[in-house]
Structure 1
């Protein structure tokens, strides 16, 4: 069984220019980081010309399907039934993208099949993590 789920999605950048084209993005979930989701935009889709990756909680993404969520760098909210809005706040500015809610739902379902929300804490190897921390302490 795979320990990583990746799902390509089409994101529509909300900007002042009318009808911005869709940009590719990827939602990624790794069993080794059970609370986190990554959304990656390829270099050709960014102003800087470098890949951009945002990490936020799976719980935030799921809750954002139902209502506005988030107070920090990443905020999620529904936009009608078929769209989800993700806002990414950085010192350089804010990016707002729309993605299909059905894509988010299928992604979250796949992550739940891999690691259910009530079992996320069981994915950590605390002994190994503590050993790594202690290794550098001496």
Structure 2
């Protein structure tokens, strides 16, 4: 079985006070790093942002508000057009504020992607390879 899952979704980005506009979200999962879903957001071939999301948090965000730090997720909408609202807080501005973006994804598409990851590594069956991690730390630059 292929230990990877990938999908590309059309999502809507709202940055600051702008209206929503369509961007691509490339979601990827590697069973070798079973807790992480990588999200790369792009527009017209240019990468706008790359975030590593906790897979369990992503699944919980489809059902209820989660997150208190730089990433906050919650379900929005109703019926067929349920969305996952993903709020990202980035680096600080010189004026003390922070970069802020909100991405809206079709909840059914995110859920379908997560089901594929759960087939690769079922929830609760993730393994932490401590020896591999420690070996990486001991390798110098």
Q: How would you bin the TM-score normalised by the shorter chain?
A: 0.7 to 0.9
Counterpart CA distance in 2 for 1:116 and 1:28 is: 16
Verify the 8 A CA contact 2:14 2:21 in the aligned structure 1.
no
1:99, distance to aligned residue in structure 2 (A)? 0.5
Name the counterpart of 1:14.
14
Is 1:60 the counterpart of 2:66? The answer is no
Higher relative helix content: 1
Name the counterpart of 1:85.
85
Verify the 8 A CA contact 1:3 1:32 in the aligned structure 2.
yes
Verify the 8 A CA contact 1:86 1:97 in the aligned structure 2.
yes
CA deviations 1:88-111 (Å, max 9, x no partner) are 100251100110000111011000
SS at match of 1:120: coil
Map 1:2-81 onto structure 2 (within 5 A).
2-15=2-15, 16-18=17-19, 20-42=20-42, 44=44, 49-81=46-78
Verify the 8 A CA contact 2:5 2:117 in the aligned structure 1.
yes
1:3 to 1:71, Cα distance in 2 relative to 1, 3 A: same
Structure 2, unaligned stretches of length 5 or more? 92-97
The CA RMSD over aligned residues, in Å, is 2.0
SS at match of 1:130: helix
| Alignment coverage as a number of residue pairs | 130
Question: Normalising to structure 1: TM-score of the pair?
Answer: 0.83
Verify the 8 A CA contact 1:10 1:24 in the aligned structure 2.
yes
SS at match of 1:29: strand
